[in-house]
Amino acid sequence: MLWIVLALLLFIIQIGFVIIFEYQRPNKAVVWLIVLFIFPVIGFVLYLFVAKEYLCPPALSRTDNGHWDRLKDELIERCKQRVQKDLHGKTLVQDDNLHALLKKIPVAPIAACNETAVFVEGKKAFEAMMDAIAASEHHIHVEFYIIRDDRLGIRFEQLLIRKAQEGVKVRLIYDGIGSRRLGKAYLERLRNAGVETGCFFPLLTSFFNKRLNYRNHRKIVVVDGKTGFFGGLNIGDEYLGEGPKFGYWRDTHFSIKGDAVLWVQYTFLTDWHLVTGQIITDPVYYPIQESRGNELVQIVKSGPDETILELIFSLIVSAKRRIFIETPYFIPDPGILLALKTAISRGVDVRIIIPAVPDKNLVYCATLSYVQELLQAGGRFYGYQKGFIHAKLIISDDLALSGSANMDIRSFCNQFEINAVFFDGKVVDRLVQDFYRDLGVSEEILQSNFEKRSTLQKMQIIFARLLSPLF
């Protein structure tokens, strides 16, 4: 009898612990309470190691931050001098509140004189990256969530080794979980050739430091501080469309030249500081940009300590004509969901493209629950049929936001991401054209489709929805 009382007391303590620490996030609290009821002890252990709020590591809370603050101020001043000419007489956004928010984003300001190229699949994007790397003269910075030791990964490895042997400074960041299958031999070959490598929150270290849930999802290449790449592609054969499950892989990736590259570089080097403790603020890494483009671009660096939620919410609520979204995972938080419903009720054309065939079944089931809810509100969803759609895109009237962030809770709050707001009509028009092209190879999801689902499928969707705040 005593052991029953003790077990019950322990269970009550666990529940109280979750309630006390999650009272400001009731959706998440409810999910963890469900997990505790199903797995009383294991669930609590998982909570302790996975659900802890992100705290800035000592490497970023020291006085070293002063170096980054001074550098940021210098870069902002440089960008202001050039952007004021391009901003004269222009209306950038459809809503004054959105404009005010964009101006207050800590990093970075709107940058001028940019030239952007858009890639919709891996082959051309990777060739452009490797051509830029091959032509490098001073430094190469590479950061990816996933790096695989396959044919594409080996091509990158060999190119980086060659450039390092030529005397170019090469730095590589990979994520401790996303690249957990990357073998030691691969990294040793790079290091032996002179490539500096850093692992973002290694698996075991992040588990015991309770940062397992916070991953670096950025995909960055910077060459000589003058050419930058970012978007949705990781390094692996499947991103070339050579994976056995999906075949064709549809993504959105960018190359950029101009002042915006300074902020892609800033993002990489602050990550490098976090990973290695090294502070690199030498002006040679932030050269005067030679681009003569006329595009305005704002790089948006986000993470658990600087969320992208407010920006996405503002893009949705400010839209007057259209909201087009492409995402492999659609798990909106309550605010984003309400904003989309409100936009639909105002007559905004809301269309969302998701994969027809999922890569993660549980997440897809949760996605379908939100699809059904928005269909009832009048939104339109489409399942991409050609292969797998991994593009991350939001078009709000004449603005576009794209980069590495998915439309899910993890990208909103838990992962380190890099995106860009595009103001230029040519770039936005190109992204709109790509969206309509994807619509042409997608099948509209109708409300009647949900009525045909079996009872088991409906139960899976309900269960996945309950757990969705953890995705």
- Kindly state the tokens that stand for 417: 């991401």
Check residue 193 and report its DSSP letter: T
What three-state secondary structure class fits 444? Answer: strand
Other CB atoms within 10 A of residue 119 CB? 21
Reported residue count of the chain is 471
- Kindly state the tokens that stand for 433: 């054209």
Handedness of CA 357, 360, 361, 366 (dihedral sign): negative
Residue in the structure block whose two tokens are 């252990």? 45
Q: Which residues pair with 147 in a beta bridge?
A: 235
> Of all residues in the chain, what percent are helix, strand and coil, respectively (each to 5)?
50, 20, 30
CA gap 149, 140 in Å, rounded: 20
Is a pLDDT exceeding 60 seen at residue 347? yes
- Kindly state the tokens that stand for 122: 């891996």
Point out the residues that are catalytic. 217, 219, 224, 390, 392, 397
Determine the pLDDT at residue 89: 46
- Kindly state the tokens that stand for 214: 């916070």
How confident is the model over 146-199, as pLDDT tens digits?
999 999 999 999 999 999 999 999 999 999 999 999 989 999 999 999 999 999
Helix or strand (DSSP H, E) at 143: strand 139-144
CA gap 322, 343 in Å, rounded: 9
How confident is the model over 47-68, as pLDDT tens digits?
666 656 555 555 444 446 678 8
Q: Which residue has the higher pLDDT, 140 or 456?
A: 140
Split at pLDDT 50, 70, 90, the class of 305 is confident
Check residue 139 and report its DSSP letter: E
Give the lowest-confidence range in 59-63, 333-337, 345-349, 420-424: 59-63
Determine the pLDDT at residue 5: 61
Any residues with CB less than 8 A from the CB of 289 and at least 6 apart, and which?
113, 226, 257, 258, 259, 261, 262
CB burial readout 310-330, b (16+ within 10 A) else e: ebbbbbbbbbeebbbbbbbbb
Determine the pLDDT at residue 322: 97
Give the lowest-confidence range in 51-60, 305-314, 399-408, 422-431: 51-60
Determine the pLDDT at residue 62: 46
Is a pLDDT exceeding 60 seen at residue 420? yes
Any residues with CB less than 8 A from the CB of 5 and at least 6 apart, and which?
none
Check residue 52 and report its DSSP letter: P
What three-state secondary structure class fits 54? Answer: coil
Is a pLDDT exceeding 80 seen at residue 23? no
CA gap 15, 26 in Å, rounded: 13
How confident is the model over 216-236, as pLDDT tens digits?
999 999 999 999 999 999 999
Q: Provide φ and ψ at 416, rounded to 5°.
A: -85, 120
User: What is the DSSP annotation of 300-364?
Assistant: EEEBTTB-SHHHHHHHHHH-SSEEEEE-S-B---HHHHHHHHHHHHTT-EEEEEEESS-SSHHHH
Is a pLDDT exceeding 70 seen at residue 87? no
Determine the pLDDT at residue 413: 83
How confident is the model over 436-460, as pLDDT tens digits?
999 999 999 998 888 778 888 888 8
Split at pLDDT 50, 70, 90, the class of 12 is low
Residue in the structure block whose two tokens are 């059904």? 372
Model confidence, pTM: 0.89
Rg (CA), the chain: 23
CA gap 471, 464 in Å, rounded: 10
Determine the pLDDT at residue 446: 92
Helix or strand (DSSP H, E) at 418: strand 417-422
